[in-house]
Structure formats: structure tokens, C-alpha cells
Amino acid sequence: MSSKKAAARRRRAAEPDVSVAVARAERRLEKFSAARSGSSSRGASLGDSVAYAAIVLGVCLMLSSRRIPVHRPEDFAPMRRAGRLAARALAHVEPHVVPGVDTETLDDVVRAFLSSRGARAATLGYRGYNHSSCISPNEVVCHGVPSKSVVLNAGDIVNVDIAVVTSEGWHADVSKTLFVGGIESADANARRLVDATRDALTAGLDECRPGVKIGDVLEPIKRKLRAEGFGIVDRYAAHGLGRRFHQPPTIRHGSHARRGAGFKLKPGHFFTIEPIATEGGSVATATLRDGWTVVTKDRASRSAQFEHTVGVGERACEIFTRDGDDDDDDDDGR
């Protein structure tokens, strides 16, 4: 078999097979029509037409919901503004991450910063979530709900995750794990966990370019963390974004991390890469009663995460959320 035929077969295999679902729906439609044979022919015909239209619409929606959006070249500029704003919000809150501060106060800092720039957090009001950030200390894996009762101490590690939506309607997502009280306050294992997670993300992003598979980006991340003896949380995935906060693709840092696996990166793809590593190699998690906060199941193993929003260009991947320490923010979020 030629390489072109083999590639075509792989593409067909990757597409959702809707023929069985359509055939089943059509059989049901035939039974429905037969059952209504006693009705007026005009009424039955109208009902059949509506039912068939519903089938076609359902299939089209299913196919479109799995398609990865390909953005236009002119979409990169507003995404750069969104990414820069997210990075600057993270840089703005970082000096406030000190021993004795509670996580709700940090969230207030994020909210005020974004509001002053005519933007807001994408998480605010998302599925009932009422905060402008997720702040996840120590054993909290992700989605830590800011609270007056969660007070940070010297030696803690804490992930601050900020997703923004600009006044133009574009989204960017960034996170970073910080040392509370400075790196000198952290124990050796915490330093190793944080450093390895940051370095793993860098190794993955170094592989990001058009034409490679997403597995080629994720494999170095997994290899680095496994070599250090850390677990890779697979349940909570990276995602596409742009005009929407969450959209295809869904990217799992463990199960998708194989060379040559997954979708091919194309110019115009926008998505996050956001590995979560855990101490001890375990990836078992539990969700607290608030419905959001995810912790390591043993409540003892700590977790670290780093995240960037990237766009695939014609020759390379662009990191929209690079460090936001530039004071020139006149066009942030505009």
C-alpha cells in the first residue's frame, strides 16, 4: 500500500463514523412513518421532513463539535493582546504571594487588575464559578477555589491560574507554580517538583511547530517528569481556545504523549499546554465538596503546574502568554 493510501486510511479511521447512527435513525424514522400511516398524508409528510431534518442537523453538529478551529492570520494580533494581558495579570499578583496572605485576597488583586484594563477573568461566572482565578496550594492539583480560610505559609508551593477574556472577546490562559516566602523557604523536594514541571513544559514547547503531531509535543513532557519520578495527571486536560474559553482540541498530557500520536498541528491552531505533576508518581485525585477543588487523593503528595497559551504559525509556535513584566500595557485587552 502506498504511503498516500495509508495516510488516507488513517485519516478516515480518525473521523467519527456516523453512518451507523444515521442508518439507525433512518430505520426509526421508517417505523415512525409506518406507525403514522393512518394519519393524513400531508401531516405524515410534514412530520417525516421535520424528523429527517433533525437527524441531519444532529449529525452536522456532532461533526462540527469535534473539529479543531483553524484561525485566520489576523486572529493572532488579538490573541497576542489577550496572552500579554494574562501574563501581566500573573506577574502583577506574584509579589502579593507572601506568607500570611489568604487566597481570596489574591483573587481580589487579579480581579481589580483585569477590571482596570477593561477586561475580566474568563472563569468569573463560568458554570457557576464566582472567582477570577484558581489558586491551588500544595496538595491541591487544580481548580483551587479562593477563600479567606486558605492562608499561605512560608515553604508552601502554590499554583496561580488566570484565564482572561478581553473586551475584544479573545481568551488566554496561563498558570505558574510559586514558592511562598521565596525559593529559599521551600524544601528540596518542592524545588525539584516545581523545577521539573517548568522544565518539562519548556521541553514540550520546544517541539511545537506546524506539521508535528501533538504527541510529539507531549512526549518530552512525560519523559522528563517520569524520569524525575513524578506522576502526570491525565484527567484534567489542556484545551483549545480563542473566541471561546474551551473548544477542541482536548489534550491529555499522559495518554496522548506518544511520538506520532494525535492530531497534526496546523497554522491557526490555538491551544494550551499545561502539565500537572505530582509527587510520588501517583495521579489519583479527589474533588472536594465545593465541586471544584481537586486534591491528590492521599492529601499529602504535592502538585505543581505550569501553563502557556500557544498559537501555531506558518513556521513555528508562538507563546502568547510569555512573562508579562513589560510596563507598556496601553493596549492590554483593548
**Per the structure block, which three cell numbers stand in for 255?**
495518554
The predicted structure's pLDDT at residue 223: 98
Torsion sign (Cα): 318, 320, 321, 326: positive
Please report, for residues 96, 137, 178, 181, 289, the alpha-carbon distance to residue 102 in angstroms, rounded to integers and kept in the order given. Answer: 10, 11, 15, 14, 20
> Which three three-digit cell numbers place residue 308?
502557556
Superfamily name with CATH number, domain 73-319? Creatinase/methionine aminopeptidase superfamily (3.90.230.10)
Tell me the one-letter amino acid at 49.
Answer: S
Q: HSE of 194 in the Cβ direction (CA atoms, 13 Å)?
A: 22
- Residue 26 and residue 55: Cα distance in Å, rounded? 8
Residue 90: count other Cβ atoms within 10 Å of its Cβ.
Answer: 24
User: Which among 112, 7, 70, 90 has a CA at the least distance from the CA of 240?
Assistant: 70
The predicted structure's pLDDT at residue 281: 87
Note the pTM of the prediction, 2 decimals: 0.80
Q: What is the pLDDT of residue 300?
A: 94
d(CA 62, CA 55): 11
| 122: region left, alpha or beta (phi > 0 left; psi from -120 to 50 alpha) | alpha
> Domain boundaries in the chain?
3-65, 73-319
Inter-residue contact 134 to 47 (CB < 8 Å): no
31 grid coordinates: 417505523
Distances (CA, A) of 156 to 74, 101, 153, 270, 322: 42, 12, 6, 33, 24
According to DSSP, the β-strands at 134-137 and 140-142 are unpaired
Q: d(Cα 105, Cα 111) in Å, to the nearest integer?
A: 10
d(CA 275, CA 159): 12
For residue 220, whether the previous peptide bond is cis, meaning omega lies within 30 degrees of 0, is no
pLDDT in tens, the chain (334 residues): 455 554 444 444 444 434 444 445 445 545 545 555 554 445 445 555 555 555 544 444 444 447 999 999 999 999 999 999 999 999 999 999 999 999 999 999 999 999 999 999 999 999 999 999 999 999 999 999 999 999 999 999 999 999 999 999 999 999 999 999 999 999 999 999 999 999 999 999 999 999 999 999 999 999 999 999 999 999 999 999 999 999 999 999 999 999 999 999 999 999 999 999 999 988 999 999 999 999 999 999 999 999 999 999 999 999 999 976 544 444 443 3
- In the chain the first and final C-alpha atoms are separated, in Å, by 53
